[in-house]
Amino acid sequence: MKVLVFGATGMVGHGVLRECLLADDVTQVVGVGRSPLAQQHPKLVSVVQPDLFDLAAVEAQLRDVDACFFCLGVSSVGMSEADYRRQTLDLTLSIAQTLARASPQACFVYVSGTGTDSSEKGSSMWARVKGRTENELMRLPFRSAFMFRPGVIQPLHGARSKVGWIHAFYVLLGPLLSGLRALFPRSLLSTVAIGRAMLAAARAPASRRVAEPADIYALSQETADGR
């Protein structure tokens, strides 16, 4: 598979990238972002594109793609709805629409979040915006589209949030999270589990679905191999 990863420098993206590089059936991983990736690997191509709203210069990298793992995201804390919509809905759809034209055969996996509002009418601003983003993505002509809605995530193998207070939360509660994840593996996911689940979704027959934490965990077990 040729795989695209958007947001590979973030916590979830880092975990997804690691699992892609470890997967035998992934032949090439193209990481697209505003800054270069620190990792080096024979499978990995780092594409730097400062303006992600305009992918014309990297369009060749978007062809013949089997899966796109979209892990870009921003915190809504302190943001207006208009700004959050631009960075969440508008940017995601701009990229996805371009990719759908270049590689309609691809599976598109979008990292959303638990509590996302599919009705687009609730009181929570971020949940409405995420809900509309999911709905619009599932209307695009991809082979399949999966909306991943993880809740609390334990970062492993060097993955870390780029949001300061979230990183501090995980550092402070790291040992506790390990114990809780052992007790509640279907609720508290690791970056490894999310990465494996995304690969399982990409390998699956054509389908469109919303994956809550328990669904993501179940998908991750399809490729569990003890890593």
Residues in the chain: 227
Going by pLDDT thresholds of 50, 70 and 90, the confidence category of residue 111 is: very high
Q: What is the pLDDT of residue 225?
A: 45
- The secondary structure of the chain in percent helix, strand, coil, rounded to multiples of 5, reads 40, 15, 40
Residue 223: band (very low, low, confident or very high) from pLDDT cuts 50, 70, 90: low
141 CB burial (10 A radius; 0-12, 13-18, 19+): exposed
Vertex 105, ends 205 and 32: CA angle to 5°? 110
**What local confidence, expressed as pLDDT, does residue 169 receive?**
61
pLDDT at 227: 39
Mean pLDDT of the chain: 89
Beta-carbon contacts of residue 199 (< 8 Å; ≥ 6 apart): 19, 20, 23, 26, 67, 223
159 against 125, higher pLDDT = 125
Tell me which CATH homologous superfamily contains domain 2-221: NAD(P)-binding Rossmann-like Domain (3.40.50.720)
* Amino acid occupying residue 144: S
Distance CA(57)–CA(89), nearest Å, equals 22
pLDDT in tens, 174-206: 666 667 677 667 778 999 999 999 999 999 888
Give the position of tokens 């594409």.
47
